[in-house]
Amino acid sequence: MEHLKELPLLQVTAEMLMVSSEKVAHVQLNNPIEHALLILVKSGYSAVPVLDMQYKFQGIVGKNTILNEILGLERFELEKLSSVTVEDVMTSDIPCLRKSDPFLTCLKALMDHTFVCVVNANGYFDGIVTRRAVLKQLNKYIHVNKALFNENVDEK
C-alpha cells in the first residue's frame, strides 16, 4: 500500500472536510436542557456541540441524553427541563480533531461518532467533521481510483 502515500486522499485534512463554526448549531453550558432540546428537535440533529461563554469547546449534548435525564419511573419529569442545565448532562469525554489532522485520523475518529468537533490549541471551537463528509470523500476516491481495486465499483 506504499503507493497510496502519494494519492490526494491522504492529503485531505480535517479543515477541508469541516463545517465551520458559524454554520454549526451549538448550545452553551448554562442553557437549561429545555433550550438544548428545542435546538435539537428544530434542527433535526441528534447532538450538538456545547461551548462556554468564550466559545471554547466543552462537550456535546444529544437528544437521548436529555430524554433519559427527564425520564422518571412513570412519567417524563418535565419540570427538570428548566432546572437542569446542559453542563449537568453533557458528555465531555470525547475525541476531538485539529484542523491539520489528516484524512485517516478523521476516518478513525468518525468510526464511533456521527460527527467530531475540531478544536484549536487554545480550546476554541473551529467546527465539525461529519461521518457523511468523510464517507463522501472516500466514495469519490474509490470511484476515481477504480483501477486500484480488483472489484467492480460501478454502483454509485
Interface residues with ligand AMP (CB under 6 A)?
19, 23-25, 45-48, 114-115, 128, 130-132
Residue 57 dihedral angles phi and psi, to the nearest 5°:
-75, 135
CB of 46 to ligand AMP, least distance (A): 4
Residue (81 or 110) nearer to ligand AMP, CB = 110
CB of 115 to ligand AMP, least distance (A): 3
Nearest to 62 by CA among 98, 25, 12, 109: 25
Grid cell at residue 149: 481495486
Grid cell at residue 18: 469541516
Grid cell at residue 45: 440533529
Residue (115 or 125) nearer to ligand AMP, CB = 115
Contact 79/109 with Cβ under 8 angstroms? no
Residue (52 or 77) nearer to ligand AMP, CB = 52
CB of 91 to ligand AMP, least distance (A): 12
